Structure 1
Amino acid sequence: MSLLKNVGTIGGLTMVSRLFGFVRDMLLARVLGAGGVGDAWQLAFQLPNIFRRLFAEGAFASAFVPLFNRRMAGTDDLSEARRFAEDVLAFLIPVLIVFGGLALIAMPWIAGLFANEGIENDPELFDLAVLMARIAFPYLAFMSLATLFAAILNSLSRFAAAAAAPILLNICLIAALVTGMTLGDGVEARRATGELLAIAVTVSGLLQLVWLWFWARRSGFRMNLRRPRVTKGVKELGILILPAVFGAGVYQISRFIDLFFLATLPDGAYTFLAMGDRLNQLPLGIIGIALGTAILPALSRHIASDDHDAARRLQSNAIELAMLLTVPAAVALFVTGSAFTRAFYTGGAFTLSDAMATGAVTSALVVGLPAYVLIKVLVPNYFARKDTRTPVFTALAALMLNVALNFLLVPRLGVVGLALAGSVGAWANVALLYLLLARGDRFRLTLRVAGRIARIVLAAALMGAALWYAMPYGAAYYAGNALERIAAIAVLVAVGGVIYFVLAIVLGVLDRATLNRLMRREG
């Protein structure tokens, strides 16, 4: 299957999930608002999610897939790969039970580390945040097991089921919010809605696990429960996971650091960052996660069979596709971020000033959007070679820069400075990852690809200038009625899309040869 087709499958289903996520956040903004219960919910929701993205989707998947693919390479016999997966599953279950139990006990201390003054100074609100976090935390265990089945399906080139699974999370949360809307508008109704949301998170984790287990069995990969043993394969996975936490999870580690700095900011900062990140996550999820998920199994197979030319070609195609899609998305959101936040979030408990603050955060976040996607494209090149040490050093260097910039920018720019510091740190990580790949003769951009990227940047910049002039014409409609909002945003998207598409053709970025190259079957 081609890179473009794989990315299209994963990205298309991820887009459906992200659209459901938009509906979820629009309801969240109206029902819970910014600050108070809204901030408490964002804190409670982030704790299991950060651990999930850091350890399950980040470190575990990046370390497991190359080892699993090595046991599949060059044979139709999956028995060795199945034994390895069963050993990992048997070891993972008790680890998750112990870790989850300890986290539930320590939750007041964990929440206290990241609570801002508004939550910390209100004992009832703090207790609510702890309760919601405890109810939602089993989601981490369910999703860690689900990630194992997702990694197996992706290695078998069956990407659809894993890409569709997050839709279940958003459906459950939307159902909880719709139920909460029937409870009234008071503080007690908001607290009850928060508890319903926490229950929905855990239920969605169980549903996603069952969904992926079903599709793994449907694909012919049936696993049996074994007695937990530290086998050679499990030990090798454990050795890879620890540094992979830093190498593949720099974005999530940055989010942990962000929580510390968010605790020093005024009420509402949690919500502004979460809502802004929802817009940032739309292209990041559709493009970045899709590309990273699609290329890791293929890269692992190419490298295991010593086909380094194919590995370089795949890496080059992935970078070009990443830039082709993310640079215009970043430029468009940077220019029109406040228009989107006004249209999507204003209403109910979420005021126009809240929307404008969220728009500023969005613009700062998307400065790093192409970098976050490139990290997901470059890191698999290291993990496919079982090199987990190098990304540790690049991640640590980027984190040190991020923390330094937080101290410099947060006192001056508030939550916007926090978002901007993360973006700059991500670009530093990309630069280091690429330079070390080039130094080790593992991958270098050709002049042809570099020239195409330059033309992509030019096309996106010209599109951004056009959007800058077009955006004020719809100002009266961005916070109007539903039809006015939809029409105004649709016009902005259409203007940006048409201009970029035309410029991409005129500048030679999009042509038949490019499409044929991206459609070429990979591994």
Structure 2
Amino acid sequence: MNLLKTLATVSGLTLLSRISGLVRDLLTARLFGASLMTDAFFLAFSLPNLLRRLFAEGAFSQAFVPILGEYKGRKSEDETRSLIDDVATILAWVLLAVTALGVLAAPVLIWIVAPGFSADPPKFATAVSLLRIMFPYIGFISLVALAGGILNTWARFSVPAFTPVLLNLSFIVSMVVFARGDDPSIEVLGWAVLGGGVLQLAFQVPALMKIGMLPRIRVDLRAAWADAGVRRVLKQMGPAVLGVSVAQVSLVINRVFQSFLGTGSISWLFYADRLMEFPTGMLGVALGTILLPYLSRANAAERHDDYNALLDWGLRIACLLALPAAVALMVLALPLIATMFHHGRFGAEDVVMSAGALRAYAVGLPGLILVKVLAPGFYARQDLRTPVRIALLVLLATQAMNVAFIGPLKHAGLALAIGLGACINASLLFRGLRRRGIYTPLPGWGGFAWRIAVALVMLGGTLWLAASSFDWLADGHAWLRVAVLAGVVSGGIAVYGLTLLVLGFRPKDFKRRV
């Protein structure tokens, strides 16, 4: 299998997800703006998302996928299917209990993560109502993550990569059909989240049936608990949960800070973060998704040279694409926000404030993407403790920066702290891989680095000159903004690509087969 081709496929499907997500956000900004209601929705939605990362895409996947890859390579099909059934049984019953508790305890949860909301009873009540509607989403999306882990281990990357599109379609259809009138109800978005979770899970079922690995959830938990593979997954989940919890605790603390900022701050950060998700999803998540199963196989087979080469390939691809994305987001922050969201109730002040947050986030984009490559270097070896220790240090550093930056920079200070924290995380993970002898850079990094640096200078200069001559906040220029931005971005891509070609880069240099 050609990893570069697989990456292009997964990235393309992720791009489709991000484009549909952008349409979703355009509708949300147009219909609801940056208001009390959107602050309540984004805050409430962050809680099931937090648990999703904890139970599903974070700790669970880090613990489950390497062990499942080992079973697939070394054990029989019946043993592998039994592991999947038992893990699914435990996960489903735990999620049922967590969901019921979350619905009942919604007021307490909102008070914990957003104490500032208690001073505004309508905002607090809206957040509680939305959380109760959306909380069952955690159950559906966690089972989606289980299905995605299975399909990725069987190298069926396309179905999990397309699945997030369905959540965005649920949002779009719900807003078009139900969010009508001058004052649409924000609860439409809550029901869209729940419907999207159901659609995503249903979409995975045929693909699992095709490979003969559709999980069978049992009523009897005793047999599942007795499975040795399940106990290994649960043992690995201990440090994994701690590691992911550190990141989520950081997000919760950020929410606490945000709840004391002015109205609109949470929404400004959300819209900036949504644009950040384009490169992090298309590149970072895609790379991590592809690398983890193959690194796990190489580790199980003790192919150390292949393991090292996979990490080196991932790091080069990440640097090649993440660095220009960061430069582009910093230079084009205001044009991007204005073009995407400056409509309806999303005013000029909202554009300027969101652009400031986007620039701050962009500082950490290379770190965010490199973490997605470096962390699997530990996970595939079933070493989750080292990333946990690093995450604890990053948590302390991030919160110290929050305290230092929030005064002078307000909401943008919180974004900057997250970005710098990601860079610290990537640096410490890289240092850990090098010190343990897990990764040794292959020859050619010196020439690679200076060529990238020259191309980045050319890119930044081109984007700045092209974008600075247009009034991005002028009213009535919506379609003109789209056309100008498309031209600026296309020109930047052309300059960056041509510079690399002139300096000797060729696409074939980044092909890798496994």
Instruction: Please tell me the residue identity of whatever aligns with 1:216.
Output: L
CA deviations 1:47-105 (Å, max 9, x no partner) are 11122123311111111100000001157x42221111111011111111111111112
Please name the residue that 1:310 is paired with.
306
Instruction: Please tell me the residue identity of whatever aligns with 1:364.
Output: A
Mapping 1:106-145, distance limit 5 Å: 106-115=105-114, 117=116, 119-145=117-143
Cα offset for 1:260? 1.6
Instruction: Please tell me the residue identity of whatever aligns with 2:129.
Output: L
C-alpha contact (below 8 Å) 2:455/2:500 kept by paired residues: yes
Please name the residue that 1:59 is paired with.
59
Please name the residue that 2:166 is paired with.
168
Cα offset for 1:451? 3.5
The separation in 1 between residues aligned to 2:370 and 2:88, in whole angstroms, is 30
Structure 2 counterpart of 1:300, from 296, 314, 323: 296
Query: Which segment is superposed worse, 235-244 or 59-68?
Result: 235-244
The separation in 1 between residues aligned to 2:258 and 2:157, in whole angstroms, is 36
Cα offset for 1:220? 2.6
| CA pair 70-335 structure 1, distance change in 2 beyond 3 A | same
Please name the residue that 2:499 is paired with.
503
Structure 2 counterpart of 1:351, from 335, 338, 347: 347
The separation in 2 between residues aligned to 1:365 and 1:312, in whole angstroms, is 30
SS in 2 for 1:325: helix
The separation in 2 between residues aligned to 1:163 and 1:479, in whole angstroms, is 37
Please name the residue that 1:391 is paired with.
387
- 1:216 paired with 2:208, answer yes
Query: Which segment is superposed worse, 85-94 or 233-242?
Result: 233-242
Q: Which runs of 5+ in 2 are unaligned?
A: none
| CA pair 78-518 structure 1, distance change in 2 beyond 3 A | farther
Please name the residue that 1:89 is paired with.
88
CA deviations 1:436-470 (Å, max 9, x no partner) are 11111000223512531342233123211221122
C-alpha contact (below 8 Å) 2:179/2:188 kept by paired residues: no
Normalising by structure 2, we get a TM-score of 0.96
Structure 2 counterpart of 1:207, from 179, 196, 199: 199
C-alpha contact (below 8 Å) 1:247/1:392 kept by paired residues: yes
Query: Which segment is superposed worse, 107-116 or 240-249?
Result: 240-249
The separation in 2 between residues aligned to 1:41 and 1:438, in whole angstroms, is 43
The separation in 2 between residues aligned to 1:257 and 1:453, in whole angstroms, is 36
Normalising by structure 1, we get a TM-score of 0.94
The separation in 1 between residues aligned to 2:238 and 2:317, in whole angstroms, is 30
C-alpha contact (below 8 Å) 1:455/1:507 kept by paired residues: yes
| CA pair 480-473 structure 1, distance change in 2 beyond 3 A | farther
Mapping 1:15-414, distance limit 5 Å: 15-73=15-73, 77-115=76-114, 117=116, 119-182=117-180, 184-186=181-183, 189=184, 192=185, 194-226=186-218, 227-228=220-221, 229-230=224-225, 231-247=227-243, 251-414=247-410
Q: Which runs of 5+ in 1 are unaligned?
A: none
C-alpha contact (below 8 Å) 1:273/1:361 kept by paired residues: yes
C-alpha contact (below 8 Å) 2:171/2:189 kept by paired residues: yes
Query: Which segment is superposed worse, 396-405 or 224-233?
Result: 224-233
| CA pair 451-204 structure 1, distance change in 2 beyond 3 A | same
Query: Which segment is superposed worse, 43-52 or 385-394?
Result: 43-52
Please name the residue that 2:12 is paired with.
12
The separation in 2 between residues aligned to 1:56 and 1:30, in whole angstroms, is 32
| CA pair 379-364 structure 1, distance change in 2 beyond 3 A | same
CA deviations 1:21-42 (Å, max 9, x no partner) are 1111111111111121111111
Cα offset for 1:135? 0.4
The separation in 2 between residues aligned to 1:210 and 1:396, in whole angstroms, is 37
The separation in 1 between residues aligned to 2:461 and 2:394, in whole angstroms, is 31
The separation in 1 between residues aligned to 2:451 and 2:502, in whole angstroms, is 10
Count of aligned residue pairs for this structure pair: 510
Q: What's the C-alpha RMSD, in Å, of the aligned pairs?
A: 1.7
Query: Which segment is superposed worse, 240-249 or 261-270?
Result: 240-249
The separation in 1 between residues aligned to 2:373 and 2:273, in whole angstroms, is 20
CA deviations 1:350-383 (Å, max 9, x no partner) are 1011011101100110111111111111111111
C-alpha contact (below 8 Å) 1:477/1:484 kept by paired residues: no
Cα offset for 1:479? 5.4
Cα offset for 1:480? 3.9
C-alpha contact (below 8 Å) 2:40/2:126 kept by paired residues: yes
C-alpha contact (below 8 Å) 2:348/2:473 kept by paired residues: no
The separation in 2 between residues aligned to 1:32 and 1:7, in whole angstroms, is 36
The separation in 2 between residues aligned to 1:478 and 1:344, in whole angstroms, is 14
C-alpha contact (below 8 Å) 2:472/2:481 kept by paired residues: no
Please name the residue that 2:455 is paired with.
459
Cα offset for 1:219? 2.4
Instruction: Please tell me the residue identity of whatever aligns with 2:18.
Output: R
Please name the residue that 1:2 is paired with.
2
Instruction: Please tell me the residue identity of whatever aligns with 1:203.
Output: G
- 1:417 paired with 2:413, answer yes
Cα offset for 1:173? 0.6
The separation in 1 between residues aligned to 2:416 and 2:447, in whole angstroms, is 27
